[in-house]
């Protein structure tokens, strides 16, 4: 499975020039800036946040910011790295929480819906990335790489669940694509109709997907049996 490459976090001597890095328990300045940028972009959008505000939120000077990043686009991509890594960490934690492959699918799907519906910061940030990527190939490539990682994770979980249940699914990647498309639709709906963001809807969506998964596998398995006759 391909994962987005980690951002370079080093203990570079340049970090010692800031007050943040002087604290033994402080994260590297590059990481501090990326997280501060993610928080601000999620609150106000890319175009309404200045690099002065990012450096102030991180507790460093603007000169320190430019030591680590050459442009606002690099800061946006670093903030996206925060989003990507956290999502993948949560997904793998959901997988590790059970050994039942079908339950793994259910838990990752539930976690994904929670991110889309109930975490406003992540929902807003990912929507901003999607919109900016429409006109910026570097942003689009970053988001596409993350999507590919998520798609492969979903497809692998779907395949494992069907294998365990003795079922066949013809196109696990196609079903993963449907899941991703559903996420985008939920995010847009939640932005304009936040009253729809309820736990009951989340639970219903989880069960709808599980039903869709099993129905797709049943159709494929039925076709396989018919062809063998």
Mean pLDDT on 181-202: 80
Residue 120, pLDDT score: 85
Residue 16 has a pLDDT of 31
Q: How far apart are CA 166 and CA 162, in angstroms?
A: 6
pLDDT for 1 equals: 41
Average pLDDT for the chain: 82
- pLDDT exceeding 70 applies to what percent of the chain? 83
The DSSP H or E segment spanning 69 is: none
What average pLDDT does the segment 216-228 reach?
A: 52
How much is the pLDDT for 27? 63
Give pTM, 2 decimals. 0.79
Local confidence band at 20 (pLDDT 50, 70, 90 cut-offs): very low
Using the predicted structure, report yes or no on whether residue 225 has a pLDDT greater than 80.
Answer: no
Residue 13 gets which letter from DSSP? G
| Residue 50 scores a pLDDT above 80 | yes
The reported pLDDT for the residue numbered 192 is 81
- Per-residue pLDDT, averaged over 1-28, amounts to 40
Q: Residue 40 above 90 pLDDT?
A: yes
Give the Å distances, CA to CA, from 28 to 4, 12, 57, 89, 113.
20, 9, 14, 19, 31
Confidence of residue 213 (pLDDT cuts 50, 70, 90): confident
Over the stretch 141-177, which tens digit does the pLDDT of each residue have?
A: 999 999 999 999 999 999 998 888 787 888 899 989 9
Q: Per-residue pLDDT averaged across 79-94, rounded?
A: 94
* pLDDT, mean of residues 173-187: 86
Taken in order 182, 167, 215, 222, the sign of the CA dihedral is: positive
DSSP line for 120-163: HHHHHHHHHHHHHHTT-HHHHHHHHHHHHHHHHHHHHHHHHHHH
Tokens of 182: 């559903």
**Could you give all domains of the chain from N- to C-terminal order, each with its CATH number?**
13-228 (1.10.357.10)
Which residue, among 127, 159, 123, has the nearest Cα to 1 in the 3D structure? 159
Interval 94-151: pLDDT, tens: 999 999 988 999 999 899 888 877 888 888 899 899 899 999 999 999 999 999 999 9
Q: What is the mean pLDDT of residues 30-44?
A: 96
């Amino acid at each position: 499975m391909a994962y987005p490459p980690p951002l370079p976090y080093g203990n570079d001597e340049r970090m010692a020039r800031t007050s943040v890095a002087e604290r033994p328990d402080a994260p590297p300045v590059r990481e501090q800036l990326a997280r501060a940028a993610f928080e601000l972009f999620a609150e106000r959008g890319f175009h309404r946040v200045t690099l002065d505000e990012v450096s102030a939120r991180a507790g460093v000077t603007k000169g320190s910011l430019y030591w680590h990043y050459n442009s606002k686009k690099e800061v946006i991509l670093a903030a996206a790295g925060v989003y990507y890594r956290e999502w993948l960490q949560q997904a793998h934690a959901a997988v590790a929480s059970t050994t039942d492959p079908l339950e793994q699918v259910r838990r990752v799907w539930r976690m994904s819906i929670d991110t889309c519906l109930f975490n406003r910061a992540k929902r807003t940030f990912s929507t901003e990335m999607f919109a900016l990527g429409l006109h910026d190939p570097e942003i689009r490539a970053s988001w596409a790489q993350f999507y590919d990682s998520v798609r492969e994770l979903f497809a692998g979980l779907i395949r494992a669940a069907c294998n365990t249940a003795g079922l066949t699914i013809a196109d696990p990647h196609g079903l993963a694509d449907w899941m991703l498309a559903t996420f985008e639709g939920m995010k847009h709906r939640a932005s304009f109709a936040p009253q729809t963001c309820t736990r009951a809807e989340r639970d219903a969506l989880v069960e709808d997907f599980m039903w869709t998964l099993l129905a797709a596998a049943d159709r494929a398995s039925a076709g396989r049996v018919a062809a063998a006759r």
